[in-house]
C-alpha cells in the first residue's frame, strides 16, 4: 500500500516536471544585439560609420541599397520571448516613414515590426492571426522623422504595448493578442525594409536590441544619463540631457559599441526635405495620445 501511495505522488508531480522541462528557452535569455547579429560592424554594402548621439559614439549610416537580414533562429535559438523590450537609438532622414525592423515567419507572414515616422506604428501578429489589422497599435502625435536623434524603448507585455520616446513621452496602446502568443522563428528578420515594399530605412542607428521581459525598457529611463565626455550630447527635441550610470548591469540600452573604432570627424547631416504623408495612414483608426 505504501508503495502505491508513493507511485501516486510521483504521478501527481509528473505534469509539473514536464512543464518545467518544456519551459521556453528564452526564459532568462540574454539580450540580442541586432546590429552585431546583422554584421553592422563589418560595414556591409549600404552601411558606413557615422557619429553617434555623442561625439565619441559610433553609429551606422544606412542608405540604399543596404540589404541587412538574418535567419530569426540565429538570433533567437530558444524561441522569441512573449514579453520583451525593444531598445534603439536612432535618427532617420527627415520626413521618412519606413520600417526599422521586421520579423517574418517561414510562410512570409509579417509577425513583428516597428515603423518609424509620423505616426509610429507597432506591427504584431501571433500564430492565431491576432491582433487583426484594425487593432494594430498606432502612436499618433509622435514623430520620429524630424532628423534628430531619439532614444526609443518599446515594452510589450500581456495585452498592451508601451512606447517611450526620449524618456519624456510614454504612451500605452492595447495589443489584443492571444493569451499564449507565439512568433515563428523559422523565418527571417530584416533591418530597415519589408518584403515587396519600396519603403526603406534611411538614417543613422547606434543601438538596436531585443531583451526578454519589459524591465529593460523602463529601466532605460529610470537611470540618469551622463553628458557626453568633452561636450554636450545632441538633445532630442531640445530636451535637457539625462545623467546615467554606465555600468553594464544598469544600462540595458547601451548594448553595442564596437571597440577601437574611431568615429568619422565629419558627417553629413540628414537634411533632405520631408516627404508626403504616409499613403497608408488612413487605414488605421485615429488614436490620440493621452
**Quick one: pLDDT at residue 73?**
97
- For residue 16, give the H/E element and its range: helix 2-21
- For residue 8, give the H/E element and its range: helix 2-21
- β strands within the chain, DSSP E: 32-33, 47-51, 58-62, 68-71, 84-92, 98-104, 110-116, 120-124, 138-139, 150-157, 160-165, 169-174, 188-191, 203-212
46, 160 in Cβ contact below 8 A?
A: no
Phi, psi for 20 (deg, rounded to 5): -70, -40
**Quick one: pLDDT at residue 220?**
85
Distance CA 225, CA 219 (A): 12
Distance CA 42, CA 68 (A): 12
Please say whether the dihedral angle defined by the alpha carbons of residues 149, 203, 230 and 258, taken in this order, is positive or negative. positive
Furthest-apart CA atoms within the chain: distance in Å: 84
> Was domain 32-220 assigned CATH 2.40.160.10?
no
Phi, psi for 161 (deg, rounded to 5): -135, 135
Ordered by start, the domain boundaries in the chain are 32-220
Distance CA 286, CA 152 (A): 22
- For residue 62, give the H/E element and its range: strand 58-62
Distance CA 138, CA 64 (A): 27
**Quick one: pLDDT at residue 151?**
95
The 10 Å Cβ neighbour count of residue 22 is 8
72, 187 in Cβ contact below 8 A?
A: yes
Report how far apart, in Å, the C-alpha atoms of 264 and of each of 41, 54, 65, 69, 186 are.
14, 12, 21, 25, 38
**Quick one: pLDDT at residue 93?**
94
Q: What is the pTM of this model?
A: 0.71
**Quick one: pLDDT at residue 232?**
54
| Secondary structure of residue 38 in the 3-state scheme | coil
| Secondary structure of residue 35 in the 3-state scheme | helix
Residue 115, all three cell numbers: 515603423
**Quick one: pLDDT at residue 277?**
37
Distance CA 141, CA 30 (A): 33
**Tens-of-pLDDT digits for all 290 residues of the chain?**
444 444 443 333 333 333 333 334 445 678 999 999 999 999 999 999 999 999 899 999 999 878 999 999 999 999 999 999 999 999 999 999 999 999 999 999 999 999 999 999 999 999 999 999 889 999 998 889 999 999 999 999 999 999 999 999 999 999 999 999 999 999 999 999 999 888 999 999 999 999 999 999 999 877 545 455 544 555 444 333 333 333 333 344 334 333 333 333 333 445 444 343 333 333 333 323 33
**Quick one: pLDDT at residue 233?**
54
| Secondary structure of residue 282 in the 3-state scheme | helix
| Secondary structure of residue 159 in the 3-state scheme | coil
User: What's the chain's Rg over C-alpha atoms?
Assistant: 21
Those residues whose C-beta lies under 8 Å from the C-beta of residue 219, and which sit 6 or more positions away, are 250, 252
Amino acid at each position: 500500500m505504501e508503495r502505491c501511495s508513493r507511485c501516486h505522488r510521483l504521478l501527481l508531480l509528473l505534469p509539473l516536471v514536464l512543464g518545467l522541462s518544456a519551459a521556453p528557452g528564452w526564459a532568462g535569455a540574454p539580450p540580442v544585439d541586432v546590429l552585431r547579429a546583422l554584421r553592422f560592424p563589418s560595414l556591409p554594402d549600404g552601411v558606413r560609420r557615422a557619429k553617434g548621439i555623442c561625439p565619441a559614439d559610433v553609429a551606422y549610416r544606412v542608405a540604399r541599397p543596404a540589404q541587412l537580414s538574418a535567419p530569426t533562429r540565429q538570433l533567437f535559438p530558444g524561441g522569441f520571448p512573449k514579453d520583451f523590450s525593444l531598445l534603439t537609438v536612432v535618427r532617420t532622414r527627415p520626413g521618412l516613414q519606413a520600417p526599422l525592423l521586421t520579423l517574418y515567419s517561414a510562410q512570409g507572414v509579417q509577425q513583428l515590426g516597428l515603423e518609424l515616422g509620423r505616426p509610429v506604428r507597432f506591427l504584431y501578429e501571433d500564430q492565431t492571426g491576432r491582433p487583426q489589422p484594425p487593432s494594430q497599435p498606432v502612436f499618433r502625435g509622435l514623430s520620429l522623422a524630424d532628423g534628430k536623434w531619439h532614444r526609443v524603448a518599446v515594452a510589450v507585455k500581456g495585452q498592451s504595448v508601451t512606447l517611450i520616446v526620449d524618456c519624456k513621452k510614454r504612451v500605452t496602446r492595447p495589443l489584443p493578442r492571444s493569451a499564449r502568443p507565439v512568433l515563428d522563428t523559422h523565418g527571417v528578420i530584416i533591418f530597415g525594409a519589408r518584403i515587396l515594399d519600396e519603403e526603406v530605412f534611411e538614417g543613422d542607428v547606434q543601438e538596436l536590441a531585443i531583451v526578454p521581459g519589459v524591465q529593460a525598457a523602463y529601466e532605460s529611463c529610470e537611470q540618469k544619463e551622463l553628458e557626453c565626455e568633452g561636450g554636450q550630447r545632441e538633445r532630442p527635441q531640445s530636451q535637457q540631457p539625462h545623467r546615467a550610470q554606465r555600468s553594464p548591469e544598469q544600462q540595458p540600452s547601451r548594448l553595442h559599441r564596437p571597440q577601437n573604432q574611431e568615429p568619422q570627424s565629419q558627417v553629413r547631416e540628414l537634411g533632405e526635405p520631408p516627404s508626403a504623408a504616409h499613403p497608408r495612414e488612413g487605414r488605421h483608426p485615429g488614436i490620440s495620445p493621452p
